[in-house]
Chain A
Amino acid sequence: MMTPSTLSRPAWVADVDADPAAEIDVGRLLAQGGDPLSTLTGTAATVPAGRGMVVVAPFDPVPLRDLLAGDGFESFVEPLADGRFRVRFFRAGGCAAARSPAPPAPAAEPPRKFWMDADGLHLDVRGLPPPRPMLDVLAFLDGGAHSQPLTVHVPQFPVHLVPELEDRGWSWDIVADEPGHVILRLVPDETA
């Protein structure tokens, strides 16, 4: 993953801008009540190797960049003058092993992980210093990029998170409860 603050603009960005395989406005998807994450991952699956797509979002879509990095996409983010973000995704060679390695996570804070499973998006906030697990889950949900069921991996049952989820219209259930690893399934109330 690349950000303007850490790396200069890669050469492939101009190619993607000139001939994107797809161009998606996340703000429009959100306004239509769609689920941007599944739409974007579905579209990304159709992008061939050597091509890319452009995403314009009201925020830096970190979970999406994480997910697509696992599918061999490099990404480059630029803030726009209107406060939105323009993200270019480029499928380098179609092989995850061939792509350049992601930059290491900051040593001070263990990494969070997003991944897609058969049951949807997973978010793992174990290992983060408190209160990051709770704050990160809420910040992700409040970001509005995801409105489908979410599986959250936390270090313990999040007593303080649960009322906040309920306030935001998310139902919760415990999938697994092991020492140091509690898995919660969060479902927005309208799809519960």
Chain B
Amino acid sequence: MLVVPLAGAEKRLLHPAVPIGFFGTAVTAHVAAWLLAAVFPAEVLAAGGPGPGLAAVHALTLGVLVTTAVGALLQILPVTTQQDAPRTPLAALVLALTAGGGVVLVAGFALYSVPLLIAGAGSAVLGLTGFAALLVRLLVKGRAAGLVDTLPAVALAAVWLAALAVLALLLAHDYRVPLLPDHAAAAVVHLVVAAYGFMGFLVIGFSHVLVPMLAVAEPPKPGAGRPALVLATVSLLAAAGGLLGGFDPLVWVGLAGGLVASGLHVALMVKTVGKRLRRKLGPSFVLVRLSWVLLPASLVAGGLAYAGLVPPALFAVLLLPGWLLTLLLGILQRILPFLASMHTVRTCAKPLSAKTLEWSLPIRVVTLCHPAALGLLTVAAAFDLPLLARLGGAVGAVGACAFVLYAATVGLRARRHRTSVGPKQPRPVRPAAPPPPPFAAPPMEFRT
């Protein structure tokens, strides 16, 4: 579970501008992705490239998912492993290269400009390489923290990140000079490795930290996530190898293994949440639970699409705005006020509770709009209905705007609080307490 070691927290927390930059980029790209879907619904359903369809996809993947993951990792890993956060200029450089590259890449796709596309991909890969370097350093220094389920998953995610980055560069340059024997197969592997590999392994790893933290529950026993992690690794290798080599049985083995691994992961999370002390899980867990359904659903859709029974767009919808974005919105709506609250502890005369920083109205809008948009897009993808996709994009954009409002409110309330109570002052040392009696309590049983 996430610990908040605020003694010495100055070194473990990034400068507020860094998470604001990452999360600000993500929530803005979220709006852009849905708007692109609303404006170019036919292209989004076709999902070929280059074009506005892939621009929307990359606004979501690189703009929202990757940017959030990078920003969150650079902040959460130092806190959970009790080590110094990366230096601000380095984190800012990663942000500038990744987010800047993302904007150029999306523009390149939208404008059918191969040079822009290549430049954007190159910048983003440079940024992600810098991020990988910071990540490796955090992982090496954080080994002593004992996060036996989280750190191996994050380390494997870094390997998948390298693979997806190489594929991204090859795919981008393949538009200029043919390099790949099968562009479409490589693109599918890029999607699969990015979504199930990089993002998926981060989800597996950090679910052991974030889900118990948000549900206020005992974390799973150390090593409990290992079967899912091992199976997911083998399955993804099989699926990627099968797709690249055109060897169908390997793809099916990968799909089946992935389905079992997803079941193991979701079952562990459901069990963890079942033993929670938090009484009201709130709207965030509506989305988190929905994402737990969408993960196996995306794999089933992937199998059906591979068999030619459903359009590939259905698989992409259930995977990207489905599983990953739904989970991210559920988690991020809780993480933002907690991070802001941690900064009030560090900088304000009196800390402000995370609960006080939240504005529930926009979150209710997100909780309604996101599943509605997803439902519309799913039906549109299944039956190739661009008009429905346009409506889904519009509804999703409303939800995304509400999320921007929510995130901005968190920041503004934290800032207003600091103005109201003033900066942090050294607190008077408590008078010497009487020595505690020489007894100790045995572990308390939970009675929930």
A residues in contact (CB < 8 Å) with B: 1, 3, 59-60, 62-63, 66, 69-70, 102, 104-106, 109, 111-115, 117, 122, 124, 130-131, 134-136, 138-140, 142-143, 155-160, 162-164, 166-168, 174-180, 182-183
Asked if B442 CB lies within 8 Å of chain A CBs, one says yes
**Which B residues touch A158, using CB under 8 A?**
4
Give A70 to B345 CA distance when docked, in angstroms.
36
Asked whether B427 lies within 8 Å of A177 as measured between CB atoms, the reply is: yes
> Which residue of A is nearest B340, CB measured?
A159
Query: Pick the contact of A102 from B429, B440, B444 — CB < 8 Å?
Result: B440
User: Could you write out 15 A-B pairs with CB less than 8 Å apart?
Assistant: A69-B439, A105-B442, A112-B441, A136-B444, A156-B6, A157-B6, A158-B4, A159-B4, A163-B355, A164-B277, A167-B278, A174-B427, A179-B7, A182-B6, A183-B430
Asked whether A163 lies within 8 Å of B430 as measured between CB atoms, the reply is: no
Summarize B's interface: helix, strand, loop or mixed. Answer: loop
> Which residue of B is nearest A6, CB measured?
B442
Chain B residues numbered 212-270 whose CB sits less than 8 Å from any CB in chain A? 212-213, 216, 218-219
Query: Pick the contact of B350 from A136, A164, A174 — CB < 8 Å?
Result: A174
Asked whether B355 lies within 8 Å of A166 as measured between CB atoms, the reply is: yes
Query: Pick the contact of A131 from B3, B434, B448 — CB < 8 Å?
Result: B3
**Which B residues touch A168, using CB under 8 A?**
279
> Which residue of A is nearest B146, CB measured?
A129
**Which B residues touch A183, using CB under 8 A?**
430
Most buried by B among A131, A134, A140, A159: A159
State whether A157 and B345 are in contact (beta carbons under 8 Å apart), knowing that A62-B441, A138-B277, A167-B280 are contacts in the complex.
Answer: yes
Asked whether A155 lies within 8 Å of B5 as measured between CB atoms, the reply is: yes
Give A64 to B293 CA distance when docked, in angstroms.
45
Asked if B377 CB lies within 8 Å of chain A CBs, one says no
**Which B residues touch A142, using CB under 8 A?**
277, 447-448
Asked whether B441 lies within 8 Å of A164 as measured between CB atoms, the reply is: no
Closest CB-CB distance, B274 to chain A, in whole Å? 15
What mask results when residues 14 to 38 of chain B are scored 1 for a CB within 8 Å of chain A, else 0?
Answer: 0000000000000000000000000
> Which residue of A is nearest B218, CB measured?
A135
Asked whether A135 lies within 8 Å of B427 as measured between CB atoms, the reply is: no
Asked whether B213 lies within 8 Å of A140 as measured between CB atoms, the reply is: no
Asked whether A155 lies within 8 Å of B7 as measured between CB atoms, the reply is: yes
State whether A131 and B351 are in contact (beta carbons under 8 Å apart), knowing that A114-B441, A157-B6, A160-B2 are contacts in the complex.
Answer: no
Asked whether A117 lies within 8 Å of B3 as measured between CB atoms, the reply is: no
Closest CB-CB distance, A38 to chain B, in whole Å? 17
> Can you name 18 extra interface pairs (CB under 8 A) apart from A109-B443, A113-B439, A115-B436?
A60-B445, A69-B437, A106-B442, A112-B441, A112-B444, A115-B434, A130-B2, A134-B1, A136-B444, A138-B277, A139-B444, A139-B445, A139-B448, A155-B5, A157-B351, A158-B4, A159-B345, A180-B7
Closest CB-CB distance, A30 to chain B, in whole Å? 13
State whether A162 and B444 are in contact (beta carbons under 8 Å apart), knowing that A131-B3, A139-B277 are contacts in the complex.
Answer: no
**Which A residues touch B422, using CB under 8 A?**
none
Closest CB-CB distance, B11 to chain A, in whole Å? 12
